[in-house]
Amino acid sequence: MLIYGKVVSADTRAKLRTQVEEFEKRAGRKPCLAVIIVGEDPASQTYVRNKIAGCAEVGMRSLHYEYADGTPQSEIEKTLNDLATDDTVDGILVQLPLPKGYDERKLLSLIPDEKDVDGFSPTNLGLLAMNKPRTISCTPFGVMKMLETTGVKLEGKNAVVIGRSNTVGKPMAMLLLNANCTVTVCHSKTENLAEITSKADILVAAIGRPKFVTADMVKDGAIVIDVGINRVDGKLVGDVDFENVEKKASFITPVPGGVGPMTITMLLANTLQAAEAKANK
Ligand code: GUN
């Protein structure tokens, strides 16, 4: 069976739209997300466009800052400092990756934890590690929502995450651990990868290599979540060899139309949550 992120995402956005309206009535303003992009990477530009469009779709305000590659870091720092202290701005994100030469850690450190709607800050990642989450990184958060729709009990299941990035693999592993799964994190140096993945009841592929997960690596009846978005000859291809793995999986996410749409929806949810936390302070 397919888990359509697109459908889960549309349902979630419809609910968000109502919640945003209610927030506006109570607070007298719309929740607001500020998005900063540096450089001309076409994939990043598409993501940013979709984030801005997502805000409009649920009735949120957005601010969009576009800087050419080569803009002095200090100029971007100034914008971040202004946004950090602007009470009408609830969420701030810097689209990654940044072009070479920028100090990513320095820039991200200027986003206050309360406005870190990506959930990338050391505090927000730390809170998740302690199972006291505040803002949860959007892609893994979306994956958990999709897993919920299967109705399958996660507790006690073997979950294997391939990929250990700070933005996806690590928070994904922590969320699954918090849901009482037995979690294994695999990566490029893992030995006997197929042996480990073929024991997974839940397999999350976040590697960034097209069709990396083949049918022989997957247990019969596994839930397979494909986080990969790879461009091959102009087409979007996931990290999972969908045609063959689909035959073995109980549930599987397609690419496109799977995890991708959920990521931006969870970003919108995080922005509303940040706005409400501020309004309730
Ligand atoms: N680049 C790819 N995914 C993401 C994301 O979720 N947030 C940000 N800021 N940049 C990204």
> What would the DSSP string read from start to end of 105-170?
HHHHHTS-GGGBTT--SHHHHHHHHTT--SS--HHHHHHHHHHHHHT---TT-EEEEE---TTTHH
**Which pLDDT belongs to residue 151?**
97
How many DSSP H helices and E strands does the chain contain?
10, 10
Structure tokens at 274: 């940040």
Whether residue 97 has a cis bond before it, omega within 30° of 0: yes
> Is residue 100 annotated as a catalytic residue, yes or no?
no
**Which pLDDT belongs to residue 191?**
98
Q: How many CB atoms lie within 10 A of CB 104?
A: 12
> Is residue 118 annotated as a catalytic residue, yes or no?
yes
Atom of ligand 1 nearest to the CA of 263: 6
Q: Which one from 118, 226, 239, 241 is the annotated catalytic residue? A: 118
In the block, tokens 């206050």 appear at 112
Q: Is 240 helix (H, G, I), strand (E, B) or coil?
A: strand
**Which pLDDT belongs to residue 241?**
98
* Cα 97 to averaged position of ligand 1 atoms, centre (Å): 8
Q: Which one from 51, 157, 170, 219 is the annotated catalytic residue? A: 51
* Cα 70 to averaged position of ligand 1 atoms, centre (Å): 20
Domain positions in the chain are: 25-113, 138-260
Please determine whether the domains at 25-113 and 138-260 fall in the same fold group of CATH. Answer: yes
> Is residue 45 annotated as a catalytic residue, yes or no?
no
* Cα 203 to averaged position of ligand 1 atoms, centre (Å): 22
Structure tokens at 8: 């889960």
The residue contributing the CA closest to ligand 1 atom 2 is: 96
Cα separation, 82 vs 90, whole angstroms = 13
* Cα 181 to averaged position of ligand 1 atoms, centre (Å): 26
For the chain, report the end-to-end CA distance as a whole number of angstroms. Answer: 43
The residue contributing the CA closest to ligand 1 atom 8 is: 95
Q: Which fold, 138-260?
A: Rossmann fold (3.40.50)
Atom of ligand 1 nearest to the CA of 118: 7
Best residue among 38, 50, 95 to mutate for probing ligand 1's pocket (most ligand atoms within 8 Å of CB) is: 95
**Which pLDDT belongs to residue 48?**
97
Best residue among 36, 167, 265 to mutate for probing ligand 1's pocket (most ligand atoms within 8 Å of CB) is: 167
Residue type, 53: A
Q: CATH class for domain 25-113?
A: alpha beta
Q: What are the 10-residue block averages of pLDDT along the chain, 281 residues in total?
A: 95 98 97 98 95 98 98 98 98 98 98 98 98 98 97 98 97 98 98 98 97 98 97 95 98 96 97 96 83
Residue 181 DSSP symbol: -
**Which pLDDT belongs to residue 281?**
83
How many CA atoms within 13 Å lie on the side-chain side of 58? 34
Cα separation, 251 vs 247, whole angstroms = 10
Cα separation, 223 vs 204, whole angstroms = 8
